[in-house]
Structure 1
């Protein structure tokens, strides 16, 4: 059939070329393509305003197509199976049944196994916020359950895996694996408070606490914040199998307070203790943290006051922080525990000796978590806020003494350590500072774009 349109590719190209040569001005478009194979067909449209060559013949070809039987297609769908996946966070009030119900699992055998599984009962039931991922059949029977948690701050996490191994039979195992660090960028603008701004931007509270500690020598976060202040931050998120477990260290941060920009980044010089510096290389490390509690409010400062129990005016030789009973209390600096026990009106007390001149006192504790003679680090937990001793309500009484003389703790916390970079470390610091400037700018830009959307 070489006298019709159906021809070989070479014959078709030859005819098109000949037509173009014969009608260079009249033929404005002559492109045709037929693709046969597997029922496919494609053709480019022609400009029919001019007559085609006389020897160009077009024939119509019709071919019947026999579809597959519908019954065979239905049978194919019947034999196809799929699994379902879902993740839920545990609640403190959860039972095995309530958790499985939220996960969409309908499997009495699985529920019976989990009620007896010791790790599941101790690590998931009664603990809020632990993510549980399940895999089920399309009939909602449990195939696999995985839960992860980080019991200690040692860079590792635990993984509980429960799997179906037979008809109605399950087995479980607990695995240990290292957490991986991922970098997160975020930005927030203050409208009412620092923590409200962080919540709105979905920035974890521990990141905000670190920011307040970093700039405690330059910014009074209780009195100096203004609406419109903003910050960009780059921080670590520690993940388990891609699932965020906890926040890590703040890597860099930029805080604009009353129009003034403060910048900081973490840098560790080889062989030396790491710390925070401004982007010009000046150390921001403070001898002491600004507060012995991460989340706190000052209820009574270092001044004369009318004593609520003695009913007389008396010098208040420390700072009181309000909070809920059980709120963690931390040491504001490195040191050695000089006293851990009960002291008259102070109730449960911890005293930490920081150096030859400085010591701090933490009173009215509901619990003591250190022992006398123990060496502790800055930020380490020493106990929990309480109402022991002469206390009209739950609070922490905190004192700072220098050579036995009481000092205003909020002023002492602003003393800086004179840490300087060595000449060998400066090139590496400058390279890192340039990279951090780019990341901080990206954090602010990304948030601005998100707000605009």
Structure 2
């Protein structure tokens, strides 16, 4: 076979699928032709323009207009709408926002004891209504988290086939999902979180996690950026509560800080990607957000009217602000003491005791075990106090120490050699997710 014939065969193979008749003729010409022979592609198929044209007509009988109208009248669909309960809601105002106009349903909801107990006046609870195309109520569902058990409650009001309503309360497990977010500081951390449509709890946790590295009260700069991976706890596909921040990255004044949540031996803590612990034995503050009104130093006592050593740190905050223990421990005292007013004392180890004074409320009892960050009371002005604030002390072997300095120098949990491979694998995964969170935010801003 000549080179020309070989090239022709190769060309034939390329068009074989779409032109089989022409290729057959082409191959024959290649095989019969000589070294210098010419060949042409011949079509053995009929000319399409010569093929007969056949018209097929099928009669179609449309439904009568009356029958079509009856079908349309019989068709119905559901309308869905979600909202949250407001403090001033009545049955009528809630149903109106949910797009329901149903006097029978409104009367039932007003009279049902479960609805009155679990829905009306329950500010912030998520509510979803299913209504007919005539805005009559088919079903109403409310969801909320009652405790820290990992479950949620579901109130279900349903209309039966005969129009009768029934009400029940169910318990179901929350589902944890992972979410990504990021933001840029323009004025404050909370404002940046709001602009990024992230939950406020994310800002609170970020301030706690990186408090030893970043001064969130005075150290933030315009243009600082953060990315975060966090848990959302969902009920029936709707987020009800923000879970734990799993990983974070914060660029503050040109310095980058990162954190990842890691568990070993049944206890979790935050670490930098290099494995250095970020979770101190003690929190930097007994409140999430507050201001120091009096430090650990000599001061003019507002009641005694003399210069005296201030044995702790005072945090100014409104009455009722939650107070938390700065470390794990056992409640050694919970009650009233002269000067301190309502006070809680927590022993953390044989040498360390923390004191929380002037409380408006005490939420723990003597001998109770408490975990770091657990609420133990609320800010007040009991005892020798001129206004609402928390007086916080740190005693080591009976000696008063500056609580801020103690928290700064406290050591955290070290990653063991056995747990290090698992930590490195987790850190690599979290790096990738944080990078994705930042990319999404940049793309959305453009």
TM-score (norm 2): 0.85
Name the counterpart of 1:371: 365
Question: Are residues 228 and 315 of structure 1, via their aligned partners in 2, closer, same or farther at CA, if it must alter by over 3 Å?
Answer: farther
Q: Which has the larger displacement, 108-117 or 328-337?
A: 108-117
User: What's the secondary structure of 1:210's corresponding residue?
Assistant: helix
The offset of 1:61, in angstroms, is: 7.3
Runs of 4+ in 1 over 6 A off after TM superposition: 59-64
Segments of structure 1 that go 5 or more residues without pairing to the other structure are: 1-15, 32-51
Name the counterpart of 2:246: 251
Q: Distance in 1 between matches of 2:48 and 2:193?
A: 75
Name the counterpart of 1:405: 399
- Does the 8 Å contact 1:288/1:378 carry over to 2? yes
Q: Which has the larger displacement, 162-171 or 368-377?
A: 162-171
The offset of 1:240, in angstroms, is: 0.8
Q: Within the alignment, does 1:303 sit opposite 2:277 as a pair?
A: no
Name the counterpart of 1:268: 263
Segments of structure 2 that go 5 or more residues without pairing to the other structure are: 1-19, 26-39
Q: Within the alignment, does 1:163 sit opposite 2:165 as a pair?
A: no
- Does the 8 Å contact 2:281/2:412 carry over to 1? no
- Does the 8 Å contact 1:110/1:168 carry over to 2? no
- Does the 8 Å contact 1:288/1:415 carry over to 2? no
Q: Distance in 2 between matches of 1:419 and 1:335?
A: 16
The offset of 1:334, in angstroms, is: 0.6
The offset of 1:219, in angstroms, is: 2.0
Name the counterpart of 1:361: 355
The offset of 1:92, in angstroms, is: 1.1
Question: Are residues 206 and 71 of structure 1, via their aligned partners in 2, closer, same or farther at CA, if it must alter by over 3 Å?
Answer: same
Residues 315-356 of structure 1: per-residue CA shift (max 9 Å, x gap): 333222222221211101011111111122322111111112
Q: Distance in 1 between matches of 2:297 and 2:87?
A: 42
Question: Are residues 303 and 223 of structure 1, via their aligned partners in 2, closer, same or farther at CA, if it must alter by over 3 Å?
Answer: farther
- Does the 8 Å contact 1:216/1:413 carry over to 2? no
Question: Are residues 423 and 68 of structure 1, via their aligned partners in 2, closer, same or farther at CA, if it must alter by over 3 Å?
Answer: same
Q: Distance in 2 between matches of 1:275 and 1:291?
A: 17
Equivalent position to 1:97, from 92, 97, 115: 92
Equivalent position to 1:326, from 307, 311, 320: 320
Q: Within the alignment, does 1:82 sit opposite 2:77 as a pair?
A: yes
- Does the 8 Å contact 1:287/1:415 carry over to 2? no
Q: Within the alignment, does 1:106 sit opposite 2:96 as a pair?
A: no
Name the counterpart of 1:424: 418
Q: Within the alignment, does 1:128 sit opposite 2:131 as a pair?
A: no
Q: Distance in 2 between matches of 1:360 and 1:148?
A: 39
Q: Which has the larger displacement, 139-148 or 63-72?
A: 63-72
Q: Which has the larger displacement, 151-160 or 194-203?
A: 194-203
The offset of 1:308, in angstroms, is: 3.1
User: What's the secondary structure of 1:274's corresponding residue?
Assistant: strand
Question: Are residues 194 and 55 of structure 1, via their aligned partners in 2, closer, same or farther at CA, if it must alter by over 3 Å?
Answer: closer
The offset of 1:446, in angstroms, is: 0.7
Question: Are residues 364 and 59 of structure 1, via their aligned partners in 2, closer, same or farther at CA, if it must alter by over 3 Å?
Answer: same
User: What's the secondary structure of 1:202's corresponding residue?
Assistant: coil
Q: Distance in 2 between matches of 1:177 and 1:335?
A: 33
- Does the 8 Å contact 1:284/1:416 carry over to 2? no
Q: How does 1:15-26 map to 2 (within 5 A)?
A: none
Equivalent position to 1:233, from 220, 223, 228: 228
Equivalent position to 1:173, from 160, 168, 172: 168
Question: Are residues 339 and 68 of structure 1, via their aligned partners in 2, closer, same or farther at CA, if it must alter by over 3 Å?
Answer: same
The offset of 1:63, in angstroms, is: 7.1
Name the counterpart of 1:219: 214
Figure out how many residues of one structure are paired with residues of the other and give that number. Answer: 411
The offset of 1:150, in angstroms, is: 0.7
Question: Are residues 109 and 408 of structure 1, via their aligned partners in 2, closer, same or farther at CA, if it must alter by over 3 Å?
Answer: same
Q: Which has the larger displacement, 303-312 or 397-406?
A: 303-312
Residues 22-63 of structure 1: per-residue CA shift (max 9 Å, x gap): xx99x9xx99xxxxxxxxxxxxxxxxxxxx887356677777
